[in-house]
Amino acid sequence: MNAKRNLIVFALASVLVLSILTSASMLIPANENAKENAKAPENSPVISNNWDLERVDFIHYAKSDINKNAKNPGACYKLMGVKWTSLPVNYAINPSNPQGLGESFITNAISTSAETWDAKTSSELFSNLYDVDYSAQYGVLDSKNSIVFGTYPDNNVIAVTSIWFVRASKRIVEFDMLFNTYYNWGDASSNPLSMDLQNIATHELGHSVGLDDIYSSSCSAVTMFGYSSEGEISKRTLENADILGLQKIYGL
């Protein structure tokens, strides 16, 4: 009798563990151009011993053929299912770049992008006192939200933002951002041949607060649309769908 009862208890416990692991893996919806196509750099941390902590890479591609067959998501926004629980978020900008962009131009473009998101919610998302840190690196889990320039192995990738999050609490713990120096960065309002830093930074910072990419052609005007190109500046500001998604996470 005891052996039979122990067998039943073991079976129930196994089902419970399987159920927990299955539901945990569904916290963040599958992203067609994130986890599946991410190419993490060699210095990316390997998170294998703690299933509760994960990383997802959001890849921002240069504009190509828009998927006209993609399902219309209706609201034109998509939530990752995780968020910051401690605000505001500080970030570190490494202005080092091979193109001669000045520190003030870079910091102004990025901080303006951060304030663009802050202005649409009562939550103070980003700290006004960011750090200028020439030692900041992309892809290293080091309790530093690093924004840097650097090379990337795919020239069709404009930028990539990596998010580390805790499954159990659905809490973001860190983000890093890389602008691919294959592209000529600058201010596209004065040089339409350049990749506009503020335009791309606004999109990438949307990922850093919990918004996913959108790929439907019917949503191509929103800031979180997953493709961009040189000369584009329209994503410096937010569309109603971007704002609605943000406020779903952090409130009005």
Q: What is the pLDDT of residues 102-118, one digit of tens each?
A: 999 999 999 999 999 99
Please state, for a pLDDT cut of 70, what percent of the chain lies above it: 75
35-39, 54-58, 62-66, 194-198: the lowest-pLDDT one: 35-39
Spatial separation of the C-alpha atoms in residues 31 and 131, rounded to whole Å: 31
Host domain of residue 100: 2-250
**Verdict on whether the full-model pTM lies above 0.95:** no
What are 64's two structure tokens? 């190509």
Number of domains forming the structure of the chain: 1
Decide if 60 contacts 212 (C-beta within 8 A).
no
Alpha carbon distance 177, 93 (integer Å) = 9
Residue 30 has pLDDT above 50, yes or no: no
Where is pLDDT greater, at 53 or 237? 237
Mean pLDDT score across all residues of the chain = 83
What angle is formed at CA 229 by the lines to CA 117 and CA 114, rounded to 5 degrees? Answer: 15
Neighbouring-strand partners of residue 164:
55, 174
CATH of the domain at 114: 3.40.390.10
CA-CA-CA-CA torsion for 171, 228, 244, 77, nearest 10 degrees? -70
Given this model, what pLDDT does residue 126 score?
98
